[in-house]
Amino acid sequence: MYAVEMENVNVYIGNRHILKNISLKIPYNSVYVIMGPSGSGKTTILRVINRLIDVNRDARVEGTVKVLGFDALKKDPYELRRYIGMVFQTPNPFPHMTIYDNVAIAAKINGVAKNRKDLDAVVRWALEKAMLWDEVKDRLYDYPHQLSGGQKQRLCLARALAMKPKLLLLDEPTANIDPVNARKLEEAIVSLKDEITVIMVTHYPHQAARVADYVTIVYDGRIVEQGPANQIFLRPTTELAQKLLRGEI
Ligand SMILES: Nc1ncnc2c1ncn2[C@@H]1O[C@H](COP(=O)(O)OP(=O)(O)OP(=O)(O)O)[C@@H](O)[C@H]1O
Ligand SMILES: [Mg+2]
């Protein structure tokens, strides 16, 4: 059983062929990293998994997509997304909610906590998992604009975790934050995989090497190389993968 299985997935938006025969298997409790140059289709893969692709009315998805055992293309997308957390490239906490409420809302919506005591516990758990608790425990009722960019992004991770997802999608989560915060986020990600399967898009080979169990490399909508991380890093077979891992593309 895999957390995600795609078989011969093709995505068209309008008359553009965006993903081409994508097949992949993502084992439970692993960190699976997707790399590839800009415009290669990385975000689109994530958007197929959580059905955000549906937002594009002219998008068409063909093939088989299994997510957490569900037939993801047939499942009600709102139901599917209850199991899937997502963190985007730019930190996007809810500006009108306190730090506490930013995290609590996710738990409330998903019915994770039933009373204030449970809610306090989930908020603390999520902030600890996101390695932010120590920095905000005395200011839970401040607003996110009082946080640094890296703290905001860890708040977004905590919000995603508070819904107790089975799958976490991270789309270049450290692209807009400093290296110290990036390392904290990486540590958090690695510590999560006992409980959650993580799929992360990154442009940084060193980051991928630190966190990945498996790596797939996408180019122009196709997977050009995939496998266990050490195999991809030590013996990349395609020239493209070699260039990408040297940071040349
Ligand atoms: N709504 C859309 N309409 C038309 N084309 C789109 C749409 N969304 C994405 N694309 C195209 O699909 C391709 C893949 O886009 P995607 O966002 O998945 O790339 P990416 O690998 O995530 O790139 P980046 O590293 O820049 O985030 C690109 O060529 C993009 O222009
Ligand atoms: Mg992208």
Residues in the chain: 249
Q: Which atom of ligand 1 is nearest to the CA of 203?
A: 25
pLDDT at 176: 85
Residue with token string 């797939």: 216
pLDDT by residue, tens only, the chain of 249 residues: 899 999 999 999 999 999 999 999 999 999 999 999 999 999 999 999 999 999 999 999 999 999 999 999 999 999 999 999 999 999 999 999 999 999 999 999 888 888 999 999 999 999 999 999 999 999 999 999 999 999 999 999 999 999 999 999 999 999 988 899 899 999 999 999 999 999 999 999 999 999 999 999 999 999 999 999 999 999 899 998 898 888 888
pLDDT at 112: 86
Residues 126 and 162: their CA atoms lie apart, in Å, by 5
pLDDT at 174: 92
Q: Taking the model in full, what pTM does it have?
A: 0.95
The tokens for 235 are 């013996």
pLDDT at 42: 97
pLDDT at 113: 87
Nearest-CA residue for atom 18 of ligand 1? 41
For ligand 1, pick from 12, 18, 170, 218 the residue to mutate: most ligand atoms within 8 Å of CB.
Answer: 18
How remote is the CA of residue 49 from the centroid of ligand 1, in Å?
15
Helix (H) or strand (E) holding 4: strand 2-13
pLDDT at 209: 93
CB 184 within 8 A of CB 133: no
CB 102 within 8 A of CB 159: yes
What's the per-residue H, E or C state across 166-220?
CEEEEECCCCCCCHHHHHHHHHHHHHHCCCCEEEEECCCHHHHHHHCCEEEEEEC
Around ligand 1, the residues with Cβ closer than 6 Å are 13, 16, 18, 36, 38-44, 56
The tokens for 74 are 């047939």
For ligand 1, pick from 22, 35, 44, 199 the residue to mutate: most ligand atoms within 8 Å of CB.
Answer: 44
pLDDT at 162: 96
pLDDT at 123: 97
Residues 153 and 216: their CA atoms lie apart, in Å, by 24
pLDDT in tens, 27-72: 999 999 999 999 999 999 999 999 999 999 999 999 999 999 999 9
- 216: phi then psi, degrees, rounded to nearest 5: -125, 140
Strand 2-13 relative to strand 16-27, pairing: antiparallel
**Which amino acid belongs to residue 6?**
M
For 50, 95, 179, the CA distances from 149, given in Å and listed in that order, are: 25, 13, 11
Residues 249 and 242: their CA atoms lie apart, in Å, by 10
